[in-house]
């Protein structure tokens, strides 16, 4: 009888331990997925290491770009699907964490639009999307990586999704340059500038309809930001137009020599 009781007691202890361990695992998973107490700190060690890792990955891919050429279709399609799924995963996160709302969660911020556009560009090899979102995507993603509008710190889902998404947003156009020899011309700057203004006009009208402030087209962020240096509303929007042209021109610089040589050949 004692042996049977000991066995029952042992099995009961194992069951309780199993339940406790499972509860701990669930608790850790919940905290990883959504924990507002674990906040992002700009320019802390984690942020700096993340930036460094992203730069190292770009350098690594560039160095081995010729070897990757044999798998360029698989790489292109994989990155294209991944960046679209990344954006969809953010919508799932909004819904499951009960943080979705019309004024903040629509995919009409500039980087969200760019992520979807770059995903489609990679899947279709669209040259128009490449030319326009080479500028829009890279310029926006660099700014986002350096000065993230992010509340959740490492290693939470939102932190990982944010940096992976912006890493791929830059990588997408670079892959088309490194693996498919796509190129940029002066006309590409004009295409990108017209596109970003058309997008801003559409988003501005949506903002008015739903009382939102996507792309900060209605007013500046309530917290301190770089926009504070660009003057009051609406003048900071004009300042952003000038800055966009300057950044687009800088991003065009690597292609000047190639465009000149192409003209000489023709």
- For residue 174, count other CB atoms closer than 10 A to its CB: 16
Measured CA distances, 71 to 103, 134, 180, 265 (Å): 41, 22, 11, 30
Residues 70, 76: contact at Cβ < 8 Å?
A: no
Would the pLDDT of 94 be above 60?
Answer: yes
pLDDT: is 36 or 206 the higher one?
206
Provide the pLDDT confidence category of residue 28 given band limits of 50, 70 and 90.
Answer: low
Question: How buried is residue 189: exposed, middle or buried, by Cβ count under 10 Å (0-12/13-18/19+)?
Answer: buried
pLDDT: is 246 or 19 the higher one?
246
Would the pLDDT of 11 be above 70?
Answer: no
Provide the pLDDT confidence category of residue 36 given band limits of 50, 70 and 90.
Answer: confident
Provide the pLDDT confidence category of residue 233 given band limits of 50, 70 and 90.
Answer: confident
The least confident of 4-13, 127-136, 171-180, 220-229 is: 4-13
Over residues 158-163, mean pLDDT: 96
Residue 39 main-chain phi, psi, to 5 deg: -95, 150
Residues 186, 131: contact at Cβ < 8 Å?
A: no
**Among 215, 37, 219, residue whose Cα is nearest residue 143:** 215
Provide the pLDDT confidence category of residue 51 given band limits of 50, 70 and 90.
Answer: very high
Over residues 149-175, mean pLDDT: 95
What pTM was estimated for this model as a whole? 0.87
């Amino acid at each position: 009888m004692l042996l049977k009781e000991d066995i029952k007691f042992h099995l009961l202890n194992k069951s309780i331990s199993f339940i406790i361990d499972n509860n701990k695992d669930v608790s850790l998973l919940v905290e990883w997925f959504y924990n507002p107490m674990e906040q992002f700190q700009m320019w802390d060690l984690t942020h700096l290491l993340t930036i460094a890792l992203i730069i190292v990955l770009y350098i690594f891919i560039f160095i081995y770009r010729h070897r990757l050429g044999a798998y360029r279709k698989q790489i292109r399609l994989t990155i294209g699907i991944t960046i679209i799924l990344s954006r969809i995963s953010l919508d799932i996160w909004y819904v499951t964490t009960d943080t979705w709302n019309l004024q903040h969660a629509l995919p009409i911020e500039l980087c969200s639009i760019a992520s979807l556009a770059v995903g489609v560009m990679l899947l279709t090899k669209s040259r128009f999307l490449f030319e326009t979102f080479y500028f829009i995507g890279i310029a926006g993603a660099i700014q986002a990586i350096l000065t993230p509008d992010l509340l959740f710190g490492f290693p939470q889902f939102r932190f990982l999704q944010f940096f992976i998404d912006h890493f791929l947003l830059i990588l997408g156009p670079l892959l088309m340059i490194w693996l498919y020899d796509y190129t940029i011309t002066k006309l590409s700057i004009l295409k990108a500038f017209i596109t970003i203004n058309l997008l801003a006009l559409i988003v501005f009208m949506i903002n008015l309809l739903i009382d939102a402030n996507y792309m900060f087209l209605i007013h500046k962020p309530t917290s301190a930001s770089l926009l504070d240096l660009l003057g009051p509303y609406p003048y900071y929007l004009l300042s952003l137009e000038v800055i966009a042209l300057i950044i687009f021109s800088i991003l065009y610089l690597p292609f000047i020599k190639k465009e000149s040589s192409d003209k000489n050949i023709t």
